[in-house]
Amino acid sequence: MSRPHRPDIAAVTVAAAAAALSLAALRSPADDAYWQAAYGRHILAAHALPAVDTYSWTAAGHPLVVTEWAFDTLMAAAAATGPWAAFALAFACILALGACALALYTHESRHRGAAGLLTLALLLSCMPFLTLLPQLASFALFAAVWAVLEGARTARAPQRLLLLPPLFLVWANMHGTFYIGLVLVALDALFSQVRFSQVRFLPGRVTARYSRATRRHLPWILAACAAATLVNPYGWRLYAPELGLAFSHFHLQYIAEFQSPNFHEPFLHFVVLPALLAGLALAMLTRRRLPARELVATLGLLAGSLVMVRMLPYALVGLGALSAAALRGRQQRLRPAPWWQLGLVGAVVALVLVRVPPPAWPPTGGAPSAAAAYVRAHLAGRGFNTYEWGGYLLWVWRGDPKVYVDSRGDMYDSTWVLKTYVALRDVTVDPSRRLLAEGVAWALLPTGTRVARVLELEGWRTVFHGGPAVVLVPPAAAAPAGRTPGA
């Protein structure tokens, strides 16, 4: 008697999770989305990369290195087309992440069902990071590089390594974290030359087995991948901005994604932390052979994520690979999911989208839209604004007027701007005297902030108050004719 057919639901799981998380991603506003879309808008209009800054008056003329120029262009095209295009872009990136993770975990576990569950766990754990930003493509490319390496090793198919240089060429023009993938390839090249079969390691065992052809080709592939990252508009200069961010005092002290994860946050505490602990426990308790690259890379990424939360999604991808290796069973024949299952999932997602369509993009929730319009229509000269609102103002003002600061920290970090801004925000200097010395003619600030209250006490007058923002002018300035505060 033949065994009953059991449909493979892994592909359906990945598709459904990607669709659901795409909706969640587009409802997660990000400050950086505005200025990156503005860069893309410039590229589409001028057919050239912006060479110097034209959006701020504090860093005007500063040389620019737009490391994410390719994804910025896609973001700007999506913003010009509408929210459905933005949804499609996010959907494609998350679907690519899910598909690459599924391929990686299938190679490791040799069981499509376990791979599907691990993929779903990965997507759910990464949900806070799945915003429409260039790192979304970086997550998928990282999983793709790892899947190619694992496929070349376990399937003894060294020809798959030829996919890596094109992946790195795309990655280097999408996001500056491509160096993480280079480290992954370097680990594979290193362990392929060590020639050890197994080493006793804690409760489990570590293995590094490669075919002769894979061992011979990996060093050359590593060199080709490194060369591919230089195929970009900036050449070797592309490496400097990302390394500068990793050691930036301002980012390490004030920007959340560059700080250690706060496991007191409910999602990190109840979702991500249990996933981390379960994966580590599974790797420690298993008696199966664990690939050396998976173990070393995952431990390194976990250590990095404890220092910098932006590394956490990469660590979760690696932890899934390590868990899949610990769950390894017999090789199974892979069967495609029946078409009716995919059709059913597509119908459910379409119904959800009809009832809850994607919102406008870039997101405007909480933005000072009315205050920004007032300033552009009635005020002139230099202004002062907050770091958090700078990106939105840069996007809607299009460089007229120019912003004081925004979330392009890699550009401002080499100037006096960030240090001065922190002093003004925290009122460690006299804000009125300092702003007047810099020739500031108005300030657009969140209502009730310390610097806004101090400026009001020092005689700055409110010329507009609406929504979350207030616009202040120095005592000597007059309100625009025909306008009343709050109009």
- What string of DSSP letters covers 367-404? --HHHHHHHHHH--SEEEE-HHHHHHHHHHHTTSSPBS
Bridge partners of 200, per DSSP, are 205
DSSP state of 459: T
DSSP state of 269: I
Query: What does the radius of gyration of the chain's CA atoms come to, in whole angstroms?
Result: 25
pLDDT at 203 over 50: no
**234, pLDDT greater than 60:** yes
> Residues 144, 204: one domain?
yes
Q: Which residues pair with 198 in a beta bridge?
A: 207
Residue 250 has pLDDT above 60, yes or no: yes
**Domain coverage including residue 439:** 369-473
DSSP run (H or E) holding 462: strand 461-466
94 and 123 Cβ atoms separated by less than 8 Å: yes
Are both 137 and 211 inside the same structural domain? yes
Same-domain status, 270 and 201: yes
What are the angstrom distances between the C-alpha of 201 and each of 7, 196, 286, 297?
Answer: 38, 13, 11, 16
In terms of phi and psi (left: phi > 0; alpha: psi -120 to 50; beta: otherwise), the region of 356 is beta
263 and 395 both lie in a single domain: no
Q: Could you tell me which residue, 127 or 330, shows the higher pLDDT?
A: 127
pLDDT value for 170: 97
Q: What is the tens place of the pLDDT at every residue in 428-455?
A: 999 999 999 999 999 999 998 999 999 9
Give pLDDT, residue 461. Answer: 93
With 0-12 / 13-18 / 19 or more C-beta atoms within 10 angstroms meaning exposed / middle / buried, residue 129 is buried
Same domain, 154 and 192: yes
| Least confident window among 37-51, 250-264, 325-339 | 325-339
The mean pLDDT value for 362-389 works out to 90
- The percent of residues above 70 in pLDDT, for the chain, comes to 86
Query: Considering the domain boundaries, does residue 45 fall inside one?
Result: no
Please check whether residue 46 lies inside any domain of the structure: no
Q: Does 124 lie in the same domain as 24?
A: yes
Task: Tokens 């209502």: give the residue.
Answer: 447
Q: What's the token pair of residue 268?
A: 């990190």
Whether the per-residue pLDDT at 337 is higher than 70: the answer is no
| Among 350, 379, 405, residue at a domain's last position | 350
* Domain-located, residue 400: yes
In the predicted model, what is the mean pLDDT of residues 224-229? 96
One domain, residues 163 and 312: yes
194 and 309 housed in the same domain: yes
What CA–CA distance (Å, rounded) separates 1 from 371?
A: 74
Pick the last residue of a domain from 302, 319, 350: 350
Q: What is the pLDDT of residues 30-72, one digit of tens each?
A: 678 899 999 999 999 999 999 999 999 999 999 998 999 999 9
Mean of pLDDT values over 348-377? 80
Assess whether 316 and 438 both reside in one domain.
no
The reported pLDDT for the residue numbered 209 is 77
**Which runs of consecutive H residues, i.e. helices, occur in 110-238?**
112-125, 134-154, 164-172, 178-194, 212-228
Does residue 416 lie in a domain region? Answer: yes
Residue burial 160-184, b: 16+ Cβ < 10 Å; e: rest: bbebbbebbbbbbbbbbbbbbbbeb
Same domain assignment for residues 403 and 343: no
Instruction: Answer yes or no: is pLDDT of 485 > 60.
Output: no
**Cis before 233 (ω within 30):** no
482 located within any domain? no
Nearest to 202 by CA among 130, 98, 89, 299: 299
Domain count within the chain:
2
For the cut 50, the answer to whether the pLDDT of residue 196 exceeds it is yes
- The verdict on residue 2 lying in a domain is no
Residue 14 in 3-state DSSP? helix
In a domain, 364, yes or no: no
Q: What is the dihedral of CA 45, 47, 49, 51, to 10 degrees?
A: -80
**Are residues 331 and 427 both part of a single domain?**
no
Residue 60 located in a structural domain: no
In the predicted model, is pLDDT for residue 298 greater than 80? Answer: yes
pLDDT more than 90, % of the chain: 48
> Can you tell me which residue has the tokens 């997550």?
139
Neighbours of 475 (CB within 10 A): 10
- Of 42-56, 72-86, 103-117, 350-364, the least confident: 350-364
Q: Which of 96-100, 165-169, 257-261, 356-360 has the lowest mean pLDDT?
A: 356-360
Same domain (yes/no): 405, 452:
yes
